[in-house]
Amino acid sequence: MNAGKRNARDAALAGAAVEQSLAADHIPPASRKMLWRERIFKALLIVSLLVGMAVLAILVIDVLSDGLGTLNLSFLTSFPSAFPKNAGIESAITGSLWLMAICAFFVIPVGVAAAIYLEEFADRRRWWNRLIELNIQNLAAVPSIVYGILGLAYLVRGPLDLGRTVLAGGLTLGLLVLPVVVISSREALRAVPGSIREGAMGLGATRWQAIWYQVLPAAIPGISTGAILSLSRAIGETAPLIMVGAATFIAFNPTGLNSAFTALPLQIYNWLSSPQAEFKILAASAIIVLLMMLVAINSVAIIIRNRYEKKW
Amino acid sequence: MSPAHDDSTGTSTMDADANTPSPSHEPVHMQTPALNEHMTPKPEAAEKIFELTDVSVRYSGKLAVKDVTVGIGTKQITALIGASGCGKSTLLRCLNRMNDLIPGATVDGSVKYRGQDLYASNVDPVQVRKRIGMVFQKPNPFPKSIYDNIAFGPRVLGMNKDRNLDEIVENALTRASLWDEVKDRLDESAIGMSGGQQQRLCIARTIATNPQVILMDEPCSALDPISTSRIEDLMNELKEQFTIVVVTHNMQQAARVSDMTAYFTVEVAEDDKRYGRLVEFAETETIFTNPSDQRTEDYVTGKVG
Ligand SMILES: Nc1ncnc2c1ncn2[C@@H]1O[C@H](COP(=O)(O)OP(=O)(O)OP(=O)(O)O)[C@@H](O)[C@H]1O
Ligand SMILES: [Mg+2]
């Protein structure tokens, strides 16, 4: 079947040159050279794919073999301890969940609102709007440690003076993923055809009504996919949390926005830098938990995307 | 709600809407009922609902259609015909300020709707579009249920306050002769309908907002002959109550449904700039049987275009 397609295509490509043979309805055989070129190209693609897969597989297998042994319920429901036997990650898990919730509460409304402005209202002929766009693209590429410094200077200390709280940590992560949320939300809005806006406004809806009742609902699947993926990036971040000074040894769950906190990546980092080998194994167990959380979050995104995929 | 019972004319806004402070001053933002339902359909010599004088439209300074002067009769079907690119859609979109949505589009000249300048600075385009609805070339149902597609307009216009929404939906679908086909699947997505059904849904959606005028931009170009003839029948029925302006590439359609026809052509200036001009505007019968301009005759008889 494939070969047949190729034949036909080659014939079409060669069409101009061999008009006579076509007139005689003779389809020339596939050229060997072409066939080989395509095979090599395909092989290269597969090799690149395999490299990525292999690295991931080695990583996962390594972590699983190290950490699966110590991964049990009491590990999940214990607080950190100086004794590896008693140590667990409950406060790290709850800390990460708190961070994620705060981050989401901040970044989704702000990011979506910014995207709506840029996509639906901003006049691209104005230089300041183009400048904002350019800046957002660039911000998405700023290293996360820089956001950590920003959070330390302006949220933990400085004008907001929130202290080393879970609120400061969540907001810092929010700033970190904000550009990504804005960009992905804009893409989701742009995917809604202009005819929907015209249809709504042609009925006498205001621009805002058209956006609120028609465009935004149609864009929600795309927006939530982007937002969820950004949250999964936030939950894996370590550097900015170190900068805003999350504590590394927290034997209680966050009790409120002003609570001190730790987070899974921090706990992992902390255990890995400990000299005791047992803690390194616990780090592997914590990595498994973090990976599972990431897989769960990303599957939600995939499910949403598949379920609400729109055909116009 | 019966359409043809009143003898008052376009100026009836005053007495019909007592709670509007100063009708003569207030541009188009009076309540809808004030402006509609009080028209006598008089096919010939119909009173003009639109008066366009020397209307030129530019896109970012580039002339698209130049110096159009026409009057469009109330409760008539007016067809705009002409070769591609002569500015039919452009002109149509002027009539409900849809051109405002295109950055860089400017309109010169005067577009009067029942005596009011649509482009006066104090006119709210949203209020204009409430009265002058639009059906597009490609069916563009909202990705929602059939019911919600119809209900959207009445909801945003606040019409559901004094009337039951279910009633409005049924009424609109019935008038668009779609009710029997969809009455059992109102909750299903409109995206799953056939193209012809989608287009009738879009017409129903517009009817539901009870406008004065319906603008249609090649409403049948994506449809098969059967769907097309259903929509033409529909237009003939709607004419009882609405004024319709329709762009079409289909000569037979223009001849079949319209009362008046405007023929446009592309003119090429000395500097090779191209823009649309109105060649002839007359009763459809005249345009098709006894046009006064040679270019019109060539076009409608299929010698060009
Ligand atoms: N959004 C736009 N921006 C810039 N130029 C436009 C735009 N829309 C239309 N034009 C130009 O205006 C002129 C008239 O276009 P218009 O769409 O009104 O033609 P039309 O008569 O409707 O053609 P068709 O029969 O193909 O639909 C064309 O030269 C077109 O290139
Ligand atoms: Mg057009």
**What is the model's pLDDT at position A14?**
54
Contacts of B143 in chain A (CB under 8 A): 196, 218, 310, 312
**What is the model's pLDDT at position A131?**
92
Inside any domain, residue B34? no
With a 6 A CB cut-off, is B138 part of the ligand 1 pocket?
A: no
Least confident of A128-132, B159-163, B282-286: B159-163
- The CB density around residue B240, as the number of other CB atoms within 10 Å, is 11
DSSP alpha helices (H): ranges in B258-293?
284-289
Banded model confidence at residue B140, pLDDT cuts 50, 70, 90: very high
What is the domain-level CATH number for residue B268? 3.40.50.300
CA-to-CA distance for B187 and B210, rounded, in angstroms? Answer: 23
Min Cα–Cα distance to chain A from B294, Å: 36
| Cβ neighbours of residue A53 closer than 8 Å, sequence gap 6 or more | none
> Which pTM does this prediction carry?
0.79
Bridge-partner residues for B263, per DSSP? B81, B280
Inside any domain, residue B218? yes
CA-to-CA distance for A260 and A34, rounded, in angstroms? Answer: 64
Inside any domain, residue B2? no
| B51 vs A279 pLDDT, higher one | B51
Instruction: Please state the rounded mean pLDDT for residues B206-214.
Output: 92
Residue B93 reports pLDDT greater than 60: yes
Q: Where in chain A is the domain with CATH 1.10.3720.10?
A: 72-311
Q: How far is CA B234 from CA B178, B199, B242, in A?
A: 10, 12, 11
Bridge-partner residues for B97, per DSSP? none
Inside any domain, residue B222? yes
**What is the model's pLDDT at position B16?**
40
Select from A121, A130, A195, A203 the residue whose CB has the most chain B CBs within 10 Å, as the one to mutate to test that interface.
A203
Distance from Cα A61 to the centre of ligand 2, integer Å: 61
Min Cα–Cα distance to chain B from A23, Å: 34
Inside any domain, residue B232? yes
Q: Which of A167, A146, A145 minimizes the C-alpha distance to A156?
A: A167
Average pLDDT value for chain A: 85
- The number of folded domains in chain B is 1
pLDDT tens across B29-50, in order? 444 333 333 444 444 556 889 9
Select from B36, B140, B217 the residue whose CB has the most chain A CBs within 10 Å, as the one to mutate to test that interface.
B140
Residue B14 reports pLDDT greater than 70: no
Inside any domain, residue B139? yes
Min Cα–Cα distance to chain B from A200, Å: 8
Bridge-partner residues for B58, per DSSP? B63, B106
Distance from Cα B87 to the centre of ligand 1, integer Å: 6
Phi, psi of A39 (to 5 degrees): -65, -45
Q: How far is CA A1 from CA A4, A5, A6, A7, A29, in A?
A: 5, 6, 9, 10, 15
CB of A203 within 8 Å of a chain B CB? The answer is: yes
Neighbours of ion ligand 2 (CB under 5 A): B 89
Residue A74 reports pLDDT greater than 90: no
Query: Chain B residues with CB-CB distance to A under 8 A?
Result: 96, 98, 101, 103, 126-127, 129-131, 133-136, 138, 140-144, 152-153, 155-157, 191, 202, 205-206, 209, 211
**What is the model's pLDDT at position B128?**
93
CA-to-CA distance for B214 and B223, rounded, in angstroms? Answer: 19
Domain range enclosing B98? 47-300
List the structure tokens of A119.
Answer: 């996509």
**What is the model's pLDDT at position A307?**
81
**What is the model's pLDDT at position A11?**
52
Asked if B136 and A199 come within 8 Å (Cβ–Cβ), the reply is yes
**What is the model's pLDDT at position A3?**
52
**What is the model's pLDDT at position B31?**
40
DSSP alpha helices (H): ranges in chain B?
13-16, 32-35, 88-94, 125-131, 146-156, 165-175, 179-182, 195-208, 225-238, 251-257, 284-289, 294-300
Contacts of A218 in chain B (CB under 8 A): 142-143
pLDDT tens across A202-255, in order? 999 999 999 999 999 999 989 999 999 999 999 988 888 888 876 667 777 888
Strand order in the sheet with B62-73: B116-117, B105-113, B48-59, B62-73, B274-283, B260-268, B77-82, B243-247, B213-217, B132-135
Which residue has tokens 């806006």?
A: A197
Min Cα–Cα distance to chain B from A224, Å: 18
Reported ipTM: 0.79
DSSP alpha helices (H): ranges in chain A?
2-14, 19-23, 32-67, 73-76, 90-116, 127-139, 144-150, 166-190, 194-202, 207-209, 216-236, 239-243, 264-272, 277-307
SS3 label, residue A277 = helix
Banded model confidence at residue A10, pLDDT cuts 50, 70, 90: low
Residue B13 reports pLDDT greater than 50: no
The number of the ligand 1 atom at minimal distance from the alpha carbon of B90 is: 18
List the structure tokens of B56.
Answer: 């030129």
Ligand nearest to the CA of B273: 1
Q: What is A72-311's CATH number?
A: 1.10.3720.10
Inside any domain, residue B64? yes
**What is the model's pLDDT at position B36?**
37
**What is the model's pLDDT at position B164?**
87
Banded model confidence at residue A312, pLDDT cuts 50, 70, 90: low
pLDDT tens across B120-132, in order? 989 999 999 999 9
One-letter identity of residue B13:
T
C-alpha B150, offset from chain centre = 18
